[in-house]
A and B are shown apart, each in its own frame.
Chain A
Amino acid sequence: MTIIRHQPEKKAPPDAFSEGRTPTFEESAKESLSNSQLRRNLGKATQTIRRKRGVAVAEMPDWEELREAGRALKARTLRHLDDYLVELEESVKRAGGQVHWARDAEEANRIVAGIAKSHGAREVVKVKSIATDETKLNEYLEGEGIAAYETDLAELIIQLAGETSSHILVPAIHKNRSEIRELFMRELGVEDLSDDPPDLANAARLYLRKKFLSAKVGISGANFAVAETGTVCVVESEGNGRMCTTLPPVLVTLMGIEKVIPQWRDYEVFMQLLPRSSTAERMNPYTSFWTGASQGSGDGPEEFHLVLMDNGRTDVLADEIGRQSLNCIRCSACLNVCPVYERTGGHAYNSVYPGPIGAILTPQLVGIGEPGPDSLPYASSLCGACYEVCPVKINIPQVLIHLRGKVVRHKQDEGGLRERLDPENVAMQAMGRIFANRRLYEGAQKAAHVGQWPLARSGTIHRLPGKLAGWTEARDLKPVPEQTFRDWWKTRRGGPSPNGSTGDGAS
């Protein structure tokens, strides 16, 4: 097997964290729903991992207690986040590391690029990190003349294909192995390659090995960082993360401020919750911990930088209902059980955070007021499957509903005449008035029965007008019957009475 090139050169399409507008979920979902290959790949993958997770979790007699412990730990940490972050900074410095604070993505990228440049690095190797996807670090580095190489197999696939991740943990879940084989043959110039997973992995390994050995700077994200000791942790399953965090002499870790945990012993809870929830494994294959820099011991990087990034997180923290979103340990269980995600795939969310967690995190991080992110809280039937599996008990349906309220209030309060005259808003206002008054309500019931006659054909409605047409594209509708329940109740009890027919004074 020979590998003749290459340079990552393709640009990923923009998302909620890039400049400019993104399409709404409805618009993007339309496209992915009609892609039969994608539907098949995703359906198969999510169903398998869902079943496996069920088995792995059922083995644990104290699973519910563990979930509660995880939730409580996160909630307590978030309540005192400022203290824990300062403690973390001190611990890292004590261990010979350097700490940087970044208000937003721009600042984070500038810091990381600055460190790389100060070492004259033209190439950096990366461990899979969603935080760096969020800041669009790779593009930024490219602009500074630095090539960033993704070393996680799936991330590499995505990078080579010039796509974006469609899953938190399995970024290339939307691709099957024959698609990957073709991509490697094309992009890595491999000639004789089968679509056997070991062969594919081997091709990637050959390509990456050189990069690991030559790169001066490694870049990682963090799953956790312990305030007490300054120990940073990356959880992965291929071993590439271990190479990135140990081989290059300089290591830079970019992490969101919500990833801090108070003590070493807190790992006990998260290391049980995370692998079973994400990959359905009892134990995670490669868990790397490092504390500061090697300080001449030869163990670990000579220079270590920790970049602590806000980028909208303190705004999330300020929202009483929304803040639980910061509990997330990125296990991706909610994606795997989500019936919407299973059918639309991750790209429909136009964000580095897809699926249920993305639907609540993205609009909170980027802020309400853009059609793309604003459509995400609506990308759910509120079935609650995500909440049921979430290892840190984020009540995702509750946050979704809360955010829908924020989206509507934002439109009503900040929007102009157009928003107020929006047919949905007008209809909701009218229905609110009708439901608030019994006489109006009963009148509307009659009007609905009378008003539907142009639509009903032999006892069925096949087509609705306007925005409601979506319903009748695949579903018939039963017409409004002549006698409502309350009409029947009156006939049954012998005529209407002013207050509840049994003479009930409750109204």
Chain B
Amino acid sequence: MRVALFITCFNDTLFPETGRATVEVLERLGHEVVFPEEQTCCGQMHFNTGYQREAIPLVRRFVEVFGPYDAVVAPSGSCVGMVRELYPLAANLANDNELLYEVEELGEKVFELSEFLVKKTGVTDVGAYYPHRVTYHPTCHSLRMLKVGEAPLKLLRRVRGIDLVELPEAKECCGFGGTFAVKNADTSVAMLGDKLRHVLDTEAEICTAGDNSCLMHIGGGLKRQRAGVRTVHLAEILASTEER
């Protein structure tokens, strides 16, 4: 299938290795990956922080850039959630019915990576090899907004060599929440504290998730504590093979 990669500005700038891994996995499975270079940001930060008029041009831009493709895949649950769930609100705010129609149509073609692999193409074994003890944190937007369900776990269970351990209280928010992490830093850190405790309880060496924003928050806390546990995006685990 021809797939347009929606890298997200966050991964593009801060986590290029996740983007590279996403390309690798998709190509290994025989998809043709294209990268529309005009893409920038979906507008989630603006919209969720309340700068919604400012997000409207970014919504229009996204529709222009990705509208022509049949499938758009992103290694981020929350950015896909923005497109699917909140673009209609933005279109309503802009009082633009044509835009509303376009975003609703587009929303059906935009997928989070695990959702695309498992739900859209029916694949669970991507041929990965990853000999590490790993625990998975289901990020809130993947879990409750996109309802990706078991998809990421189905993929992880088929990774060879992996020692997958369940995260206690996995469904609890890690406390990131975008600008919440800065605006309400104290509460955010209090939530993070419990998440870290659960991660450490698993004795995993790697904590993974489908969203680098939450992982940056969890990983930043682990690193500050010199916990000896790393965070790695799901795509990177799926991209690893015995050769590399």
A residues with a Cβ closer than 8 A to B are 25-26, 29-30, 33, 321, 339-340, 343-344, 377-385, 387-388, 398, 401-402, 404-409, 424-425, 428-429, 431-432, 434-438, 441, 445, 448, 460, 462, 467-468, 470-471, 473-478, 480-481, 483-489, 499-502, 504-507
Contacts and interface: CB of A to CB of B under 8 A. Distances in A.
Interface residues of B, number: 77
Contact of B189 (A377, A445, A475): A475
Given A432-B57, A500-B38, A502-B32, 13 more contacts: A343-B190, A383-B144, A383-B173, A428-B49, A441-B40, A468-B182, A470-B182, A470-B183, A500-B34, A500-B36, A502-B34, A506-B36, A507-B64
Contact of A435 (B40, B183, B187, B224): B40
Nearest to B12: A485
Nearest to B182: A470
Contacts of B156: none
B217 interface: yes
B14 interface: yes
A438 B40 contact: yes
Interface in B179-216: 179-192, 216
A477 to B, nearest CB: 6
Given A343-B187, A381-B140, A478 B36 contact: no
A506 B184 contact: no
Nearest to B7: A485
B177 interface: yes
Given A383-B140, A432-B46, A445-B12, A475 B54 contact: no
Contacts of B180: 378, 380-382
Contact of B89 (A384, A401, A424, A448): A401
Contacts of B191: 339-340, 343, 381
A405 B183 contact: no
A103 B49 CA distance: 33
A476 B48 contact: no
A437 B223 CA distance: 35
Contacts of A441: 9, 40-41
B244 to A, nearest CB: 16
B135 to A, nearest CB: 19
A377 B48 CA distance: 10
B12 A404 contact: no
A379 B191 CA distance: 13
B75 to A, nearest CB: 10
B150 to A, nearest CB: 17
Contacts of B15: 485
Which of A378, A383, A402, A488 has the largest number of chain B CB atoms within 10 A?
A383
Interface stretch (B65-73, B99-107, B108-116, B125-133): B65-73
B182 A499 contact: no
Q: Give the 10 A-B residue pairs with the shortest CB-CB distance, closest first.
A: A381-B177, A470-B185, A475-B220, A507-B38, A408-B50, A404-B50, A383-B173, A485-B19, A384-B144, A383-B140
B219 to A, nearest CB: 7
B35 A486 contact: yes
Interface in B44-70: 45-55, 57-58, 61, 64-69
Which of B46, B52, B54, B223 has the largest number of chain A CB atoms within 10 A?
B54
B45 to A, nearest CB: 8
Contacts of B11: 485
Contacts of A377: 50
B43 A435 contact: yes
Contacts of B172: 339
12 contacts: A33-B190, A321-B89, A340-B191, A428-B54, A438-B38, A467-B182, A470-B183, A476-B224, A484-B16, A504-B34, A506-B34, A506-B38
Which of A380, A428, A468 has the largest number of chain B CB atoms within 10 A?
A428
Contacts of B85: 398
A405 B54 contact: no
A488 B16 contact: yes
Contacts of A471: 181-182, 185, 220
Contacts of B53: 409
Contacts of B14: 478, 480-481
A388 to B, nearest CB: 6
